[in-house]
């Protein structure tokens, strides 16, 4: 079945250092093509990978800051939260929670508490 | 009127200090990139308003910033440092093989004649070059893939390539230094390299005269005499007169020959500056007295310079990239401390003044002499 060509607007909250780097204030309203991922997530859902890809496409300076260049792995001290859940350890093609996809709740990019 | 711009990298941002040629009154701007570690900021000798800065944190990784107006405004450029080909392993602290992993850029060395070309020394040790103003970076892999590479091991601060010297006289010659592998030389613009550590003697490695494994903290050159290099090793201050073929010790009458930075006077190739530090286990000045030592004889005889520097209760360190000179008629010397002071001397080190205090811990200091 062909996927619908759909764009969803989600809300993303970046940590302060990444807001400064990207030159944004407050939340980012981000258009994300649904059905991202390889293979595409079922049901034309927005995935974490799709959201981060769209974020990096809009703000190229963020490349390498959340995910390593090359491997694409999440950096050790970066976490992804939404709806009181830690999504950091989910497979990147897992659909984001429905309230995030609906724009009701933001996707939070977190600089982990570390360093004592 | 001529002036000086001092580029200061700290644990929590970059600062730009400027003065006219009198060097009596300083303006401080910053922090630029507040909250980020700025390992190094350096200007292009060919276009002094073109600056490059290494910006990183453990959280969000490495960024390179570029300025075309002397540090007033900045733009991020490329920051993808991908080792070339199969990376292989080096030794880990416990002696086991450890894969090469990029951590950060320690040092940026702009080309002597092309503002778009800049070299980057990184941890884990590797040398990269950009020829498009920092937009993209390619490894000069001949250094990392030297046959001794699998035997290199990190120093306490990581396995960093911290020093890059470009020879202004011999075309294609450059030097690099790595903790704790040693010093290396290329005669073909960075394509191939060989260790130049003969004459170094390091306790604490299995073979004290090994070809590699020496914890070289810094090397310095006077551009008019590039075959002479000065080195502050972990312990020992060293000198070569033949571009690294052989080294000999010039610690002479220093109170301790442990330290990090070493710098050469802008106009006197035999005038050298070091900051002795108590020991490898006590990273602060002997007796709580911050003293720069100057040799006017190319080493061995050293004179303490103390006027204006704290002579009691001082327990800061001066890191390897945190001392530089200007090239005004009377050479100025600058250094920064882990306590956040930047000291300047406008009279070759005879007297010192704090031109910034209470900055974050200083990682690097570069002085630009402006027309």
For residue B57, the chain A residues in CB contact (below 8 A) are 17
Q: CB–CB of A21 and B76 under 8 A? A: yes
Angle at CA of residue B351, ends B345 and B353, nearest 5°: 60
**Helices and strands counted in chain B (H then E):** 0, 30
Q: Domains of chain A: which residue ranges?
A: 7-111
Residue contact A78–B59, C-beta within 8 A: yes
Per residue of chain A (116 residues), give pLDDT as tens: 444 558 899 999 999 999 999 999 999 999 998 765 555 555 568 999 999 999 999 999 999 999 999 889 999 999 999 999 999 999 999 999 999 999 999 999 999 876 55
Pick the CATH number of A7-111 from 3.10.20.30, 3.90.1150.10, 3.40.50.300, 3.10.110.10: 3.10.20.30
CB contact under 8 A, A61 and B76: yes
CB contact at 8 A, B50 and B66: yes
Q: Say yes or no for a CB contact (<8 Å) between B63 and A61.
A: yes
Which residue out of B33, B54, B61 would a mutagenesis test of the A interface target, given it has the greatest number of A Cβ atoms within 10 Å?
Answer: B61
Question: Which among B325, B337, B323, B318 is positioned nearest to B368, based on CA atoms?
Answer: B325
Interface check B99 vs A, CB under 8 A: no
Per-residue model confidence (pLDDT) at position B203: 86
CA–CA distance, B325 with B344 (Å, rounded to integer) = 9
Under-50 pLDDT residues of chain B: none
CA distances from A85 to A8, A75, A97, B250, B316 (A): 21, 18, 9, 61, 44
User: Å from B320 to nearest chain A CA?
Assistant: 24
Q: With beta carbons less than 8 A apart as the criterion, state whether B257 and B277 touch.
A: no
The set of residues, in sequence order, having a beta carbon less than 8 Å from that of A116 and lying 6+ positions away, is none
Report B:10-39 residues touching A (Cβ under 8 A): 35-36
Closest Cα in chain A, distance from residue B63 (Å): 8
* B214-225 pLDDT per residue, tens: 999 999 999 999
Longest dimension (CA), chain B: 57
Among residues A15, A11, A46, A27, which one has the least CA distance to residue A109? Answer: A15
> Would you state the pLDDT for residue B307?
98
Examine the predicted complex and report whether its ipTM is higher than 0.85: yes
* CA separation for the pair B335, B6 (Å, rounded): 10
Contacting residues of B for A111, CB less than 8 Å apart: 59-60
Q: Quick check: B341 and B316 in contact, CB under 8 A?
A: yes
Judge contact between B144 and B100, C-beta under 8 A. Answer: yes
- The CA distance from B105 to B102, in Å, is 9
pTM: 0.95
pLDDT of residue A43: 57
Q: Collapsing DSSP states into helix, strand and coil, what is residue B109?
A: strand
pLDDT value, residue A1: 43
User: Minimal CA–CA distance to B111: which of B52, B192, B35, B195?
Assistant: B52
In Å, how far are B46, B106, B231, B321, B325 from B270, measured between CA atoms? 26, 28, 13, 20, 14
Give the CATH number of the domain where residue B336 resides.
2.130.10.10
Separation between Cα atoms, residue B38 and residue B192, nearest integer Å: 29
pLDDT of residue A101: 93
**Number of domains forming the structure of chain B:** 1
In B50-79, the residues whose Cβ lies within 8 Å of chain A are 57-63, 76, 79
Tell me the per-residue pLDDT of B167-196, one tens digit each, with 9 for 90 and over. Answer: 999 999 999 999 999 999 999 999 999 999
> What's the gap between Cα B139 and its chain centre?
20
Query: Rg of chain A's alpha carbons, rounded to an integer?
Result: 14
Q: Say yes or no: B86 contacts chain A, CB-CB below 8 A.
A: no
What residues of chain B lie within 8 A of the CB of A77, using their CB?
Answer: 58-59
Does the CA dihedral B5-B8-B14-B15 come out positive or negative?
negative
Predicted pLDDT at A68? 94
Name the residue range of residue B180's domain. 3-370
> Do B60 and A66 lie within an 8 Å CB cutoff?
yes
Give the separation between CA B120 and CA B107, rounded to whole angstroms. Answer: 6
- Closest by Cα among B297, B320, B308 to B344: B308
């Amino acid at each position: 079945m062909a996927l619908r060509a759909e764009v969803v607007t989600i809300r993303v909250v970046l940590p302060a250092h990444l807001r400064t780097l990207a030159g944004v204030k407050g939340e980012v309203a981000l258009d994300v093509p649904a059905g991202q991922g390889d293979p595409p997530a079922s049901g034309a859902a927005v995935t974490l990978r799709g959201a981060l890809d769209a974020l990096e496409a809009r703000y190229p300076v963020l490349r390498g800051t959340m995910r390593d260049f090359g491997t694409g792995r999440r950096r050790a001290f970066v976490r992804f939260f939404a709806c009181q859940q830690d999504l950091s350890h989910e497979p990147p093609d897992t659909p984001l929670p429905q309230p995030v996809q609906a724009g009701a709740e933001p996707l939070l990019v977190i600089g982990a508490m570390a360093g004592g | 009127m001529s002036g000086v711009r001092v580029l200061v990298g700290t644990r929590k941002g970059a600062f730009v200090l400027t003065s006219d040629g009198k060097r009596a009154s300083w303006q401080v701007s910053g922090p630029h990139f507040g909250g980020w570690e700025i390992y190094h900021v350096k200007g292009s000798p060919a276009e002094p308003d073109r600056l490059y800065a290494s910006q990183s944190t453990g959280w969000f990784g490495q960024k390179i910033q570029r300025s075309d107006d002397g540090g007033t405004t900045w733009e991020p450029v490329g920051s993808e440092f991908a080792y070339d080909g199969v990376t292989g392993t080096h030794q880990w602290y416990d002696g086991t093989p450890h894969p090469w992993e990029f951590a950060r850029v320690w040092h940026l060395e702009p080309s002597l004649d092309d503002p778009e070309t800049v070299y980057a020394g990184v941890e884990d040790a590797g040398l990269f070059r950009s020829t498009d103003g920092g937009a993209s970076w390619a490894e000069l892999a001949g250094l990392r893939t030297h046959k001794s590479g699998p035997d290199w091991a990190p120093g306490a601060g990581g396995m960093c390539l911290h020093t890059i010297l470009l020879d202004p006289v011999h075309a294609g010659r450059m030097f690099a230094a790595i903790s704790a592998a040693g010093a290396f030389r290329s005669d073909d613009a960075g394509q191939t390299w060989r260790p130049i550590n003969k004459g170094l003697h390091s306790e604490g490695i299995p073979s004290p005269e090994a070809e590699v494994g020496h914890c070289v903290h810094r090397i310095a050159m006077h551009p008019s005499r590039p075959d002479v290099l000065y080195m502050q090793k972990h312990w020992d201050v060293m000198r070569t007169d033949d571009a690294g073929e052989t080294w000999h010790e010039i610690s002479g009458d220093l109170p301790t020959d442990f330290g990090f930075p070493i710098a050469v006077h802008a106009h006197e190739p035999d005038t050298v500056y070091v900051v002795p530090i108590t020991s490898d286990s006590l990273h602060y000045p002997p007796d709580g007295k911050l003293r720069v030592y100057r040799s006017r004889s190319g080493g061995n005889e050293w004179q303490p310079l103390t006027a204006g520097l704290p002579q009691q209760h001082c327990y800061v360190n001066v890191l390897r990239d945190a001392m530089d000179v200007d090239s005004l008629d009377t050479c100025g010397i600058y250094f920064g401390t882990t306590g956040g002071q930047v000291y300047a001397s406008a009279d070759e080190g005879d007297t010192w003044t704090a031109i910034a205090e209470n900055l974050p811990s200083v990682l690097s200091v570069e002085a630009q002499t402006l027309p």
